[in-house]
Amino acid sequence: GESGAGKTETAKIAMQYLAALGGGSGIEYEILKTNPILEAFGNAKTSRNDNSSRFGKLIEIHFSETGKISGANIQTFLLEKSRVVQCAEGERAYHIFYQLCVGAPPALREKLNLMSAKEYKYLRQSSCYSINGVDDAEQFRIVVEALDIVHVSKEDQESVFAMLAAVLWLGNVSFTVIDNENHVEPVADEGLITVAKLIGCDIGELKLALSTRKMRVGNDTIVQNLTLSQATDTRDALAKSIYACLFEWLVEQINKSLAVGKRRTGRSISILDIYGFESFDRNSFEQFCINYANERLQQHFNRHLFKLEQEEYIQDGIDWAKVDFEDNKDCLNLFEKVPSPLTQLRVFVLTTKGVLLCYIFYLVVCHAFGIFIQADLTGNFFMFCMVASITTDTKISMNILSAKVLRFLLFNFRALQIIDILMSGSRSKFVGVMLHF
């Protein structure tokens, strides 16, 4: 479903229902307390949803032979790491950053050198620091309480908060140009000093890590200085890596607390909760993967609930009113069909050195009035819109298509016109533009 449709809330209700039915051992309370932790570290405010899941999770709840909950295991996937370092106007990074800035007690604030959210570059770029009706300080208290319940020690909790503060301070690290080739080095200011202290490394080593890279050439190691853009990317990559590792570590600690061990009977119920379809002005590769995963799950749902079920009704001769549903197979064919249209496009561009006009005509003839337009008109959860934005948005940050395609589209207005017309499904406009070639 789309972002904000209620997937996460429904998953929580399902977990509460199972806990009420299979409770009694006490572990069901721990299972329920994983929700505020995972939401704080994996959810964020987007333009469509104030509590949007930015990762997927599969919660496997195990039962004893008597039907009581005996433990659980959580698997996570596709964490949106890019949200750590950038988010659109009016959106927020992960909830835990704002909760920490507002709710941390004075002693912790002093230890981590915490400031308000507005003081951190990663958080202030979207100009959104709060959510209506949500008390971040109270949510921080709930998260700390939940960490206690799942047996994360106070010492480990402090380490978690230190890593979060380090990520925030990394965004404040700035660089200065040191030569006429635009090579840079980090400025040894409060940001750099605080990051080095929080992650426990030497400040000199941190400066080298952020401003140089090592390349192995034969038996030799070459140290290359970075330009400003390269150093900025390196800094952001470090911040994303720290956060992703922290998230994985937290899930691992939770699973240790909920482990079934020798009580495993093979009886379990799994609840899947993934983030929903969204289409932003600039869609990252992560969002592409999210939307594709949703399309595939939607197809699985349609196939088992509608298609196969109704085929059984026909075989059994049952008299019933047929249920019509939108089949998103055409959308999936864009990516899964062998060879897929997108794969053909990329291969064609690479092998013909960017000569794309003939291939656009091929796409038009073969697909425009079939798969492409049909997929667009059915509006299957923005997947086709996603493809269109990848193709037409020259500012896109993803590399799903080759750079040659994007450069071609940037400098060929009529090619953009064709693709825009394909999206609108206008045959007459299409013919008019093609006559100009």
Q: Where along the chain do its domains lie? A: 7-169+238-274, 285-436
User: Annotated catalytic, 103?
Assistant: no
**Residue range 126-146: mean pLDDT, rounded:** 95
pLDDT at 217: 81
pLDDT at 138: 97
Question: Quick one: tokens of 110?
Answer: 């002093």
Query: Helix, strand or coil for residue 286?
Result: helix
Are the C-beta atoms of 346 and 403 separated by less than 8 Å?
no
User: Annotated catalytic, 53?
Assistant: yes
pLDDT at 401: 39
More confident residue, 390 or 151: 151
- Between CA 32 and CA 145 the distance in angstroms is 12
6 is in an annotated binding site: yes
pLDDT at 408: 43
pLDDT at 351: 63
- Between CA 382 and CA 396 the distance in angstroms is 17
2 is in an annotated binding site: yes
- Please give the radius of gyration of the chain, using alpha carbons only, rounded to the nearest integer: 26
Which residue, 380, 364, 290, is CA-closest to 332?
380
Strand partners, 222: 215
User: Annotated catalytic, 52?
Assistant: yes
7 is in an annotated binding site: yes
Which is the catalytic residue, given 28, 80, 278, 295? 278
- Residues contacting 328, CB < 8 A, separation 6+: 295, 298, 299, 302, 375, 378, 380, 381, 383
185 is in an annotated binding site: no
Which is the catalytic residue, given 49, 172, 194, 294? 49
Provide the Cα torsion 409, 411, 414, 418; round to 10°. 10
Q: Please state which of the four CATH numbers 3.50.70.10, 1.10.274.10, 1.20.58.530, 3.60.20.10 is assigned to the domain occupying 285-436.
A: 1.20.58.530
**Are both 7-169+238-274 and 285-436 of the same fold?**
no
pLDDT in tens, 210-266: 999 988 888 888 889 999 999 999 999 999 999 999 999 999 999 999 987 666 778
pTM of the model: 0.76
428 pLDDT more than 80 = no
pLDDT in tens, 391-413: 333 333 333 333 444 444 444 44
User: Annotated catalytic, 3?
Assistant: yes
Residue 56 carries which side chain, given as an amino acid letter?
A: G
Fold for the domain defined by 7-169+238-274: Kinesin (3.40.850)
**Residue range 366-388: mean pLDDT, rounded:** 38
197 is in an annotated binding site: no
pLDDT at 184: 94
User: Annotated catalytic, 278?
Assistant: yes
**Residue range 78-106: mean pLDDT, rounded:** 94
Which is the catalytic residue, given 8, 46, 76, 328? 8
pLDDT at 407: 43
pLDDT at 170: 97
